[in-house]
């Protein structure tokens, strides 16, 4: 198999699996595990192919741009496809124990569609296909969020739906403006042209606003905490770890490539909302009394770091670009592990109130360890992926002389320590409840594996940065 034919397969394989999952009356568990594992194999093959070439491209059906569909993968695409591919089988493993029957079938179908859309987004070479994959991703995410079926989950996913559709529309409007001005949507052809185009600034503002809404970046995060906190654990994990990263990835591509990192004001704005998000939402996380809400607010706070890193790329270059990628990767792993672990605690206790976790450290030691390990990365303590990202971000901020950002990064880390230890402290307290239902072990192991790999990628900083390559 040639390297470039990997690209369409990365989209088609999970999409086909997803459709099959929705149609087949049984066998959803094995299908989910098999397809997501196959997807991981494809992702590894892509990484392997890129390690030699640096870039891979494919024109669907042999039609070249502007007529055909171009798929392209560079280092960033490969890193993101790899980490999503690594998380998916563990979420599948967890889901196959947590769900049964119709629920498992729906999860399998929707999650694989979600995965296919995500892969497609990371390799789409033009703005329209980016829109299509973004839309498919958003809709499958909303459907997943509604899967729990409770009134709160339905209300939250309706809000989510509203936000994601509004965001898509704004983005699409921006794309239309660009198309009118240039007659092409291909990212390569548009490269660097954005700022000079008539209406280019308006198009940019529309697209960025739409993407920020979809990414639930502060102050547009209103829809995220209820949606993520009311979904069931594997869904929360998929949404928090993966779904919100896609719009930010797209934002990076648009701004750095199509708009060539233009307008200093954009960098300042991104840094400002990123910093505000880190501080405000970390504080919100500290104040929560429900564990899942705490974790959801932590997600919004961590997205703030990604914006900070992105904002510094034009000025600081490779350090900030590496910080963006490493923070993203480690947040994917840590947050997926954390949501699964907290889900385990909540399942055992029958609720997710912090003060009612009765000595889970004794009864679910693996989940408690998962919380601690994921916490290490989220706090940015060494050794962990989170620390590596934070270190590069600090270096970028010091190099550009942005000392206020240094302060934000450190204070954000301290607040993260407060909310993580709030979580951990409550696992030590309370009274015994030996009669509570036991959990299938693989639900604990899935959480622990994810959390441990968030720490483990702390030792893979060099290979990841090598795969990532320079700023595009």
Partner 1 sequence: MSEHELLPLAVLATSLLPGLVIFFLPEGAVRVRSVLNLAGATVKLVLVAVMLWGVSRGENYAVSYPLLPGLTFSLRADSLALLFVTLSAQLWFLTTIYAIGYLESSPNRARFFGFFSLCVTATVGVAMAGNLITFLLFYELLTLSTYPLVVHRETAAARAAGNRYLAYTIGGGAALLLGTAWLYAETGTLTFTPRGFVDGSGASSPVLAAIFFLLVAGVGVKAALVPLHGWLPRAMVAPAPVSALLHAVAVVKAGAFGIIRIVYDVFGVEYAAELGVTDALAAVAAVTIIYGSLRALAQDDLKRRLAFSTVSQVSYIALGVAIVGPLASIGGIVHLVHQGLMKITLFFCAGNYAETLGLHKVSELDGVGRRMPLTTAAFTVAALGMIGLPPMAGFISKWYLGLGAIEAGATWAVFVLAGSSALNAAYFLPILHRAWFRAPTAAWAPVPAGVRAETALALLLPPVITALLVLLAGVLASVQYSPQEWATLVVRREFYAP
Q: Which is nearer to partner 1, 3 or 379 (CB)?
A: 379
Q: Which of 353, 382, 404, 470 binds partner 1 (CB under 8 A)?
A: 382
CA angle 418, 341, 281 (to 5 degrees): 35
Nearer to partner 1, 58 or 331 (CB): 331
- By CB under 8 A, residue 398 contacts partner 1: yes
Tell me whether residue 198 or residue 365 sits nearer to partner 1 (CB atom): 365
Q: What are phi and psi of 76, to 5 degrees?
A: -65, -45
Scanning residues 267 to 306, which ones bind partner 1 (CB under 8 A)? none
Question: What DSSP element (H or E) covers 432?
Answer: none
Looking at the Cβ atoms of 135 and 402, the one nearer to partner 1 is 402
Q: Which residues pair with 57 in a beta bridge?
A: 72
Tell me whether residue 267 or residue 393 sits nearer to partner 1 (CB atom): 393
Among the listed residues 34, 391, 433, 471, the single contact to partner 1 using CB under 8 A: 391
Q: What sections of 257-317 are H helices per DSSP?
A: 264-287, 291-316
Interatomic CA distance for residues 432 and 415, integer angstroms: 30
Residues 88-147 that bind partner 1 (CB under 8 A): none
370 binds partner 1 (CB under 8 A): no
Tell me whether residue 138 or residue 389 sits nearer to partner 1 (CB atom): 389
Classify 72 as helix, strand or coil: strand
How many residues interact with partner 1 (rule CB under 8 A)?
34
3-state helix, strand, coil in the chain (%, to 5): 80, 5, 20
DSSP reduced 3-state for 385: helix
The CB-of-425 to partner 1 minimum distance in angstroms stands at 6
Shortest CB 61 distance to partner 1, Å: 41
Burial class (CB in 10 A: 0-12, 13-18, 19+), 272: middle
Q: Using the rule CB under 8 A, is 388 a contact of partner 1? A: yes
CB of 132 to partner 1, least distance (A): 37
Task: Write down the least CB distance from residue 416 to partner 1, Å.
Answer: 10
Binding string to partner 1 for residues 399 to 438, with x set by CB under 8 A, is what? x------x---x--xx--x---x--xx--xx---------
Whole-number minimum distance, CB 397 to partner 1, in Å?
A: 9
Q: Is 471 in the site for partner 1 (CB under 8 A)?
A: no
CB nearer to partner 1: give 152 or 432.
432
Binding mask 299-328 for partner 1 (x = CB under 8 A): -----------------------x------
Contact 247, 214 (CB under 8 A): yes
DSSP string covering 206-257: HHHHHHHHHHT-TTS-TTHHHHHHHS-HHHHHHIIIIITHHHHHHHHHIIII
Q: How far apart are CA 249 and CA 355, in angstroms?
A: 37
- The neighbouring-strand residues paired with 202 are none
Using CB under 8 A, pick the residue from 169, 362, 404, 441 that binds partner 1.
362
442 binding partner 1? (CB under 8 A) = no
Give the binding range for partner 1 (CB under 8 A) out of 44-52, 70-78, 195-203, 375-383.
375-383
Residue closer to partner 1 (CB basis): 174 or 322: 322
Distance CA 11, CA 65 (A): 19
Q: How far apart are CA 75 and CA 97, in angstroms?
A: 34
Helix (H, G, I), strand (E, B) or coil at 124: strand
Alpha-carbon distance 240 to 256, whole Å?
24
Q: Which of residues 208-247 bind partner 1 (CB under 8 A)?
A: none
Query: Which 322-361 positions form the footprint of partner 1 (CB under 8 A)?
Result: 322, 359, 361
For residues 163-195, b (16+ Cβ closer than 10 Å) or e, as one string? bbebbbebbbbbbbbbeebbebbbbebbeebbe
Quick one: which of 189, 395, 440, 471 contacts partner 1 (CB under 8 A)? 395
Q: For binding to partner 1 (CB under 8 A), which residues are involved?
A: 322, 359, 361-362, 365, 369, 372, 376, 379, 381-383, 388, 391-392, 394-395, 398-399, 406, 410, 413-414, 417, 421, 424-425, 428-429, 458-459, 461-462, 465
């Amino acid at each position: 198999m040639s390297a470039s034919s990997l690209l369409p397969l990365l989209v088609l394989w999970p999409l086909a699996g997803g459709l099959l999952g929705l149609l087949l009356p049984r066998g959803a568990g094995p299908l989910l595990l098999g397809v997501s594992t196959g997807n991981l194999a494809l992702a590894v093959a892509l990484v392997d192919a890129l390690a030699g070439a640096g870039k891979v491209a494919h024109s669907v059906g042999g039609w070249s741009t502007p007529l055909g569909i171009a798929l392209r993968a560079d280092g960033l695409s490969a890193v993101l496809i790899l980490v999503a591919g690594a998380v998916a089988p563990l979420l599948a493993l967890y889901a196959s124990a947590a769900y049964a029957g119709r629920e498992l079938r729906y999860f399998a179908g929707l999650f694989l569609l979600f995965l296919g859309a995500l892969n497609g987004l990371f390799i789409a070479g033009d703005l329209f296909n980016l829109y299509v994959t973004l839309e498919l991703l958003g809709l499958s995410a909303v459907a997943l969020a509604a899967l729990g079926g409770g009134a709160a989950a339905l209300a939250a996913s309706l809000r989510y739906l509203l936000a994601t559709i509004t965001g898509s529309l704004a983005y699409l409007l921006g794309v239309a403006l660009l198309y009118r001005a240039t007659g092409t949507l291909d990212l390569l052809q548009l490269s660097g042209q954005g700022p000079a185009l008539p209406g280019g600034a308006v198009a940019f503002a529309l697209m960025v606003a739409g993407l920020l809404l979809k990414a639930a970046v502060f102050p547009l995060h209103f829809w995220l905490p209820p949606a993520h906190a009311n979904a069931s654990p594997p869904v929360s994990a998929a949404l928090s770890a993966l779904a919100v990263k896609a719009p930010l990835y797209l934002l990076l591509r648009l701004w750095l490539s199509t708009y060539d990192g233009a307008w200093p004001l954009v960098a300042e704005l991104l840094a400002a909302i990123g910093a505000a998000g880190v501080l405000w939402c970390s504080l919100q996380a500290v104040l929560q009394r429900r564990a899942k809400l705490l974790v959801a607010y932590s997600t919004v706070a961590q997205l703030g770091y990604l914006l900070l890193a992105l904002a510094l790329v034009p000025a600081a270059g490779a350090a900030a670009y590496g910080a963006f990628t490493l923070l993203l990767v480690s947040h994917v792993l840590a947050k997926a592990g954390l949501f699964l672990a907290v889900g385990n605690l909540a399942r055992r206790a029958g609720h997710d109130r912090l003060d009612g976790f009765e000595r889970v450290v004794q009864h679910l030691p693996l989940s408690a360890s998962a919380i601690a390990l994921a916490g290490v990365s989220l706090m940015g303590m060494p050794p962990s992926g989170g620390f590596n990202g934070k270190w590069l971000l600090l270096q970028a901020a010091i190099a550009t002389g942005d000392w206020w950002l240094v302060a934000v990064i450190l204070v954000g880390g301290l607040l993260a320590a407060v909310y993580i230890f709030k979580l951990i402290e409550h696992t030590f307290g309370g009274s015994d409840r030996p009669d509570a239902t036991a959990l299938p072990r693989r639900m604990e192991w899935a959480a622990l594996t994810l959390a441990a790999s968030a720490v483990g990628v702390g030792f893979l900083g060099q290979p990841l940065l090598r795969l990532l390559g320079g700023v595009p």
